[in-house]
């Protein structure tokens, strides 16, 4: 299959997964020789309708030059012409492949051509693209190497769960997290603008946090391209294998970060396999307060007003019994397509102000507002770390554990 056809399939994959009905396609796919009966059986055993559609679209790229035009014809024959039209629009919107200098484009009636099932597409389709009038491109997106960038074509891009714990039970001995609602409102607005379906839950005890996270992980994400989890709470150090730290439910029970992350890994959440899963943790990694060290440059001191600065720290608590909970220490598959962004270095305090919220969320929101249209996520997180590290009398530096395989660019409205 030519590269332009592959790219058209990839750009349209989310819409195909969301709208394609695979069942009527099995017989014509075999009759036209695109797939053998054994291959079709494998596609049918892929799982849900969405998973079957996703595997079909991916496997189609390996079926030769005729696969793309035949697939368009089969879609129209089975009453799914709207998806065929969508793929043609994606194909026609791609830059034309370089042609020899003496080769002149053939002028065709695109609309008539698009519905002609008898056309030998592989010979004529490239000319179709050249004949199409040139239209504006999105510079930042089209110049990227698409093989090294996660594609976010679905709308919404994915789901975003925000757990905002502000008030804790008296028995927990944890203070109210004044200013966290400011953080929550900023992130709700920001991720909605970044085309995510946002769900916010406030003041959850540990078991309800676990239930909410598991509920999200069990949902079908086949038609979506990404998933985001944000935790705003008190935090602590915990024993860990992969991801350090823990966050508290409002009942004072800690949940290891790695337990939260692994609800969404490839084993536990199949519909998010190969898709970016982003976690943003505003919580302390411990109770150490960093006073920093002197440097010879002009970084702003930006001291916080006296009395308004609070931390989300809770002392390290050694788990009872034999150590970590069994599901936190069990053998886990190597994580992929996962990024966990922490507000502070493991073991250290994360600062929050009553009026403006936490340093980390305030800075993250500002960086996303200014740079989400042009920069990838890792570059923006460097900006966040640099800006937060320059603040205040006490110091704080955010960081991340990155297991993404590609660059991640948000798709803004």
Same domain (yes/no): 122, 16: yes
Closest CA to 349 of 373, 374, 315: 315
- Among 135, 167, 183, the domain-final residue is 135
Q: Which of 184, 227, 234, 400 is catalytic?
A: 234
Residue 347 is encoded by which pair of tokens?
């073991």
What confidence score (pLDDT) does residue 347 get?
Answer: 62
Q: What CATH number should be reported for the domain holding residue 156?
A: 3.40.50.1460
Q: How many Cβ atoms from other residues are within 10 Å of residue 99's Cβ?
A: 12
- Among 100, 135, 170, the domain-final residue is 135
Q: Is residue 193 part of a domain?
A: yes
Q: Which of 226, 236, 269, 284 is catalytic?
A: 284
Beta-bridge mates of residue 138: none
Instruction: Say whether 157 is catalytic.
Output: no
Q: How far apart are CA 261 and CA 104, in angstroms?
A: 55
Same domain (yes/no): 159, 234: yes
Same domain (yes/no): 299, 380: yes
What confidence score (pLDDT) does residue 308 get?
Answer: 54
- Among 66, 101, 135, the domain-final residue is 135
Query: In terms of pTM, does the model score above 0.75?
Result: no
Query: Where on the phi/psi map is residue 48: left (φ > 0), alpha (ψ -120 to 50), or beta?
Result: beta
Same domain (yes/no): 238, 386: yes
Q: Is residue 408 part of a domain?
A: no
3-state SS, residue 164: strand
Name the residue range of residue 273's domain: 148-403
Instruction: Say whether 284 is catalytic.
Output: yes
Q: Is residue 412 part of a domain?
A: no
What confidence score (pLDDT) does residue 326 get?
Answer: 31
What confidence score (pLDDT) does residue 122 get?
Answer: 44
Provide the number of structural domains found in the chain: 2
Same domain (yes/no): 159, 39: no
Give every strand in the sheet of 357-358, ordered side by side.
Answer: 309-311, 351-353, 357-358
Q: Is residue 394 part of a domain?
A: yes
Beta-bridge mates of residue 226: 158
Same domain (yes/no): 69, 164: no
How far, CA to CA in Å, does 235 sit from each of 247, 284, 371, 385? 4, 5, 29, 19
Q: Is residue 141 part of a domain?
A: no
Q: How far apart are CA 256 and CA 413, in angstroms?
A: 34
Same domain (yes/no): 397, 262: yes
Same domain (yes/no): 102, 185: no
What confidence score (pLDDT) does residue 304 get?
Answer: 42
Q: Is residue 143 part of a domain?
A: no
Q: What CATH number should be reported for the domain holding residue 57?
A: 1.10.533.10
Same domain (yes/no): 131, 156: no
Q: How far apart are CA 251 and CA 203, in angstroms?
A: 9
Cis peptide before 156 (omega within 30 of 0): yes
φ, ψ dihedrals at 303, nearest 5°: -70, 140
What confidence score (pLDDT) does residue 145 get?
Answer: 65
Same domain (yes/no): 118, 212: no
Q: Is residue 92 part of a domain?
A: yes
User: Tens digit of pLDDT per residue, the chain (413 long)?
Assistant: 788 888 888 888 888 888 899 889 989 998 888 888 888 888 888 888 888 888 888 888 888 888 888 889 899 989 898 898 888 888 887 665 444 434 444 444 444 444 444 444 444 344 333 333 344 444 444 445 667 999 999 999 999 999 999 999 999 999 999 999 999 999 999 999 999 999 999 999 999 999 999 999 999 999 999 999 999 999 988 877 889 999 999 999 999 999 999 999 988 999 999 999 999 999 874 444 444 444 444 444 444 444 455 655 454 343 333 333 333 333 334 468 999 999 987 667 777 788 889 999 999 999 999 999 999 999 999 999 999 887 766 778 899 999 999 999 998 76
């Amino acid at each position: 299959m030519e590269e332009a056809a592959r790219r058209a399939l990839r750009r349209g994959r989310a819409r195909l997964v969301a709208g394609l009905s695979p069942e009527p396609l099995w017989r014509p796919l075999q009759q036209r020789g695109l797939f053998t009966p054994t291959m079709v059986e494998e596609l049918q055993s892929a799982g849900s309708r969405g998973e079957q559609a996703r595997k079909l679209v991916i496997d189609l790229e390996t079926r030769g030059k005729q696969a793309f035009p035949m697939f368009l014809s089969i879609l129209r024959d089975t009453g799914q012409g709207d998806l065929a039209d969508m793929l043609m629009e994606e194909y026609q919107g791609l830059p034309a492949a370089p042609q020899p200098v003496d080769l002149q484009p053939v002028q065709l009636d695109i609309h008539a051509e698009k519905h002609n099932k008898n056309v030998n597409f592989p010979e004529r389709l490239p000319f179709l693209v050249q004949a199409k009038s040139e239209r504006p491109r999105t510079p930042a997106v089209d110049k990227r190497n698409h093989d090294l960038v996660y594609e976010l074509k679905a709308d919404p891009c994915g789901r975003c769960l925000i757990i905002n714990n502000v008030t804790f039970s008296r028995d927990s001995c944890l203070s109210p997290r004044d200013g966290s609602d400011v953080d929550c409102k900023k992130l709700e607005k920001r991720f909605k603008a970044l085309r995510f379906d946002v769900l916010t839950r406030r003041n959850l005890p540990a078991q309800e946090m676990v239930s909410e996270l598991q509920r999200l992980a069990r949902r079908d994400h086949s038609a979506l391209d990404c998933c985001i989890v944000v935790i705003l709470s008190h935090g602590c150090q915990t024993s860990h294998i992969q991801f350090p730290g823990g966050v508290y439910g409002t009942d004072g029970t800690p949940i290891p970060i790695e337990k939260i992350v692994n609800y969404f890994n490839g084993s536990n959440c199949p519909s998010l396999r190969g898709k970016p899963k982003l976690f943003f943790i505003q919580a302390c990694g411990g109770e150490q307060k960093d006073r920093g060290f002197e440097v010879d440059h002009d970084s702003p001191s930006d001291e916080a007003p006296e009395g308004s600065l609070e931390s989300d720290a809770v002392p390290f608590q050694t788990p009872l019994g034999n150590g970590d909970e069994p599901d936190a220490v069990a053998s886990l598959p190597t994580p992929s397509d996962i990024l966990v962004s922490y507000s502070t270095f493991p073991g250290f305090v994360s600062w929050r102000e009553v009026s403006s919220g936490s340093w980390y969320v305030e800075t993250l929101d500002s960086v996303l507002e200014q740079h989400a249209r042009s920069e990838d996520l890792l570059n923006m997180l460097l900006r966040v770390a640099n800006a937060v590290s320059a603040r205040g009398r006490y110091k704080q530096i955010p960081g991340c554990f990155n297991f993404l395989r590609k660059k991640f660019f948000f798709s803004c409205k």
